[in-house]
Homo-oligomer: A and B are copies of this chain.
Amino acid sequence: MPSDRLSTTFAALADPTRRAILARLTSGEASVTELAEPFEMSLPAVSKHLKVLERAGLIARGREAQWRPCRLKAGPLKDADEWLERYRRFWEESFDRLNEYLGEVQRRQKKHGRNTAQMKEDKNV
């Protein structure tokens, strides 16, 4: 298991339940019971996910003995976003290439359409 910060962040995000927990926390603090509700999952199973998120620094938990509310900590997500930043030009370039290709196809279709129309006109003459 790699121990660098970015790997820990990405590993924590590599689970749909953990991402859903983070999404829930965007609307405010929540207790483990509240977080468990939508998942039809046992409290220990949810607690396990929370531990992974806490170790990754993606959530913080209150210190009240009875109610230890969880809240989102976005710092590691910022680092992940900064890592992705350098790849942005690649998907933008891919999009540009796709766009260019589609433009080419459309131009060809128009040309073909015009030729067909021209042929019809020729026949009508």
Interface residues of A (CB under 8 A from B): 2, 4, 6-11, 13-16, 19, 22-23, 26, 72-75, 77-78, 80-81, 83-84, 86-88, 90-91, 93-94
The 8 tightest CB contacts between A and B, nearest first, are A74-B90, A10-B14, A11-B14, A74-B91, A78-B91, A10-B13, A77-B87, A7-B14
Closest to A13 in B: B10
CB-CB under 8 A from A93, the residues of chain B are 74
Main secondary structure of the interface of A (DSSP, over half): helix
| Number of identical protomers | 2
In whole Å, how far is A110's beta carbon from the nearest beta carbon of chain B?
Answer: 29
A-B contacts, 6 listed (Cβ < 8 Å): A6-B16, A7-B16, A10-B10, A14-B14, A19-B83, A81-B81
CA distance A41 to B83 in the complex (A): 24
CB-CB under 8 A from A90, the residues of chain B are 26, 72, 74, 77
CB-CB under 8 A from A23, the residues of chain B are 86
In whole Å, how far is A92's beta carbon from the nearest beta carbon of chain B?
Answer: 9
CA distance A90 to B88 in the complex (A): 21
CA distance A66 to B71 in the complex (A): 53
